[in-house]
């Protein structure tokens, strides 16, 4: 009996502004490609069922849960992970908001929360508390109680609109 040969598929994608090419198994999830192949471990694996949101990244400008997308589906695309947000060693406003407003505790959900917050603020630069909570429903946090996460989003929205930030 002949041995089965694992099929590998070539993929190319731009991740955080850098082009990568690799050969991957057809079933490899994007989250595993980012973490295991590229060493970008800021994207977390929380549930593998798209329930927790720890793996949120941008694919072609849209936020997605990378545990539900195959690496081959991202072929030719542009991916941005949490590592791609800071510029020249400076946090972007959302990252700064989570820092300033204590929007994290253990930090496990934080990358996905930050990426989802970016997506929200791109669509709605001045969200209400209700809109913030609704937009983050797909992201689970077991530590914070969400109040400081909401404050972090409000802080980022203020910073991005040129306003003054709320204080903690």
Same domain, 119 and 142: yes
Name the domain boundary from 84, 108, 130. Answer: 84
Work out the number of other CB atoms within 10 angstroms of the CB of residue 159: 18
In tens, the pLDDT along 26-74 reads: 999 999 999 999 999 999 998 878 889 999 999 999 999 999 999 999 9
What is the average per-residue pLDDT within 99-103?
A: 95
Which pTM was predicted? Answer: 0.89
Same domain, 16 and 73: yes
Total number of domains in the chain = 2
Do the domain assignments include residue 165?
no
Q: How far is CA 90 from the centre of its chain?
A: 18
Which domain, by its residues, includes 35? 9-84
Q: 3-class DSSP state for residue 132?
A: helix
Q: Are 84 and 15 in contact (CB under 8 A)?
A: yes
What mean pLDDT, rounded, does the chain reach? 92
Nearest residue to 112 (alpha-carbon basis) of 47, 55, 49, 152: 55
pLDDT score recorded for residue 47: 86
- Residue 2: pLDDT over 80: no
pLDDT score recorded for residue 3: 66
The two beta strands, 78-80 and 18-24, are unpaired
In tens, the pLDDT along 142-164 reads: 888 899 999 999 999 999 998 75
């Amino acid at each position: 009996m002949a041995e089965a040969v694992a099929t590998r598929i070539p993929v190319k994608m731009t991740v955080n502004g850098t082009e990568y090419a690799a050969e991957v198994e057809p079933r490899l999830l994007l989250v595993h490609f980012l973490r295991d192949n590229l060493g970008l471990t800021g994207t977390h694996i929380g549930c593998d069922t798209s329930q927790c949101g720890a793996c949120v990244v941008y694919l072609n400008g849209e936020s997605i849960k990378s545990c539900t997308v195959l690496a081959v589906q991202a072929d030719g695309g542009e991916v941005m992970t949490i590592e791609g947000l800071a510029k020249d060693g400076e946090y972007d406003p959302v990252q700064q908001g989570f820092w300033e407003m204590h929007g994290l505790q253990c930090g496990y959900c934080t990358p996905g929360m930050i990426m989802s917050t970016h997506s929200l603020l791109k669509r709605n630069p001045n969200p209400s508390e209700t809109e913030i909570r609704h937009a983050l429903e797909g992201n689970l946090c077991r530590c914070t109680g969400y109040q400081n996460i909401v404050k972090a989003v409000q802080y980022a929205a203020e910073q991005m609109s040129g306003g003054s930030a709320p204080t903690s």
